[in-house]
């Protein structure tokens, strides 16, 4: 998948590993919103002595791959097909960690705010929300973001041929509605989260860490 190659995946995985290190010897519950094939978390879950992993995704194909990636002793995986913003409303469990990687930007701003609130309620006190996504810079419109992002992709994603680049641009144009970074942090803190900080970023891709205190 595209993000595996171009969106700081190695750096994000290393940063999540740092957050997880104190918990590897504990029994842990993790929710992954828009989990895809579980590429980001699968190798780290295998380090836990006991991990229950719940993943939501719209793609049955991606979930089938995730099931294979998560097959390991000590990992109990529950994979649910559907929209994360709907599935979380009917979720009865609570979690030590909620993670989302390049999924929430597909939602409208009002839907993002509601999802943040649902995440807050589904975390245990002391739990952590790991939020990886694309964001707009302060003052940028969506149109300016798209222009700058396509320019960035053209300059950096050199392995893509013209057809692949066209598909990327078509997808982003139709489905990406990234929040302004400062707005997203404000909405999350207004929900009740404590903003720990930004772990990894470039000009578009960011990893934010929040806790429920």
How is the chain split into domains, by residue range? 2-211
Dihedral sign from CA coordinates of 158, 14, 212, 198? negative
What pLDDT, on the 0 to 100 scale, is given for residue 158? 83
Average pLDDT over residues 175-191: 97
Single pTM value for the model? 0.93
List the CATH code of the domain at 2-211.
3.40.50.150
Residue 175 near residue 134 (C-beta atoms within 8 A): no
* pLDDT surpasses 50 at 212: yes
Six token digits for residue 54: 């719940």
What pLDDT, on the 0 to 100 scale, is given for residue 9? 86
161 vs 2: which has the higher pLDDT: 161
Average pLDDT of the residues of the chain: 93
Helix spans in 9-138 (H): 9-20, 42-45, 60-69, 84-87, 109-122
Question: What is d(CA 134, CA 201) in angstroms, rounded to the nearest whole number?
Answer: 10
Sheet containing 205-211: which strands, arranged edge to edge?
75-81, 50-57, 27-33, 95-101, 123-134, 205-211, 194-201
Rounded (5°) CA angle 96-135-170: 115
Average pLDDT over residues 34-48: 94
Question: What is d(CA 199, CA 18) in angstroms, rounded to the nearest whole number?
Answer: 10
Residue 207 near residue 156 (C-beta atoms within 8 A): no
Q: How confident is the model over 85-124, as pLDDT tens digits? A: 999 999 999 999 999 999 999 999 999 999 999 999 999 9
Average pLDDT over residues 203-209: 95
1 vs 137: which has the higher pLDDT: 137
**Percent over 70 (pLDDT), the chain:** 97
* pLDDT surpasses 50 at 2: no
Task: Look at strands 194-201 and 205-211 and give their pairing.
Answer: antiparallel
Residue 112 near residue 104 (C-beta atoms within 8 A): yes
Question: What is d(CA 69, CA 36) in angstroms, rounded to the nearest whole number?
Answer: 11
Question: What is d(CA 98, CA 121) in angstroms, rounded to the nearest whole number?
Answer: 11
What pLDDT, on the 0 to 100 scale, is given for residue 156? 83
């Amino acid at each position: 998948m595209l993000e595996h190659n171009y969106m700081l995946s190695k750096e994000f995985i290393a940063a999540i590993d740092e957050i997880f290190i104190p918990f590897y010897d504990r029994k842990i519950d993790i929710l992954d919103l828009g989990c895809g094939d579980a590429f980001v978390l699968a190798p780290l879950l295998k380090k836990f002595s006991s991990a229950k992993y719940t993943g939501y995704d719209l793609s049955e194909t991606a979930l089938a791959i995730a099931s294979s990636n998560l097959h390991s002793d000590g990992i109990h995986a529950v994979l649910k097909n559907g929209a994360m913003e709907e599935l979380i409303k009917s979720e009865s469990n609570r979690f030590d960690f909620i993670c989302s990687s390049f999924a929430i930007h597909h939602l409208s701003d009002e839907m993002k705010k509601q999802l943040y609130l649902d995440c807050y309620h589904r975390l245990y006190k002391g739990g952590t929300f790991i939020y990886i996504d694309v964001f707009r810079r302060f003052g940028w419109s969506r149109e300016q973001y798209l222009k700058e992002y396509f320019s960035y992709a053209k300059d950096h994603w050199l392995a893509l041929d013209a057809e692949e680049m066209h598909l990327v641009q078509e997808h982003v144009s139709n489905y990406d509605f990234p929040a302004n970074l400062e707005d997203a942090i404000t909405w999350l803190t207004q929900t009740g989260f404590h903003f720990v900080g930004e772990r990894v970023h470039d000009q578009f891709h960011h990893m934010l860490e929040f806790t429920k205190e």
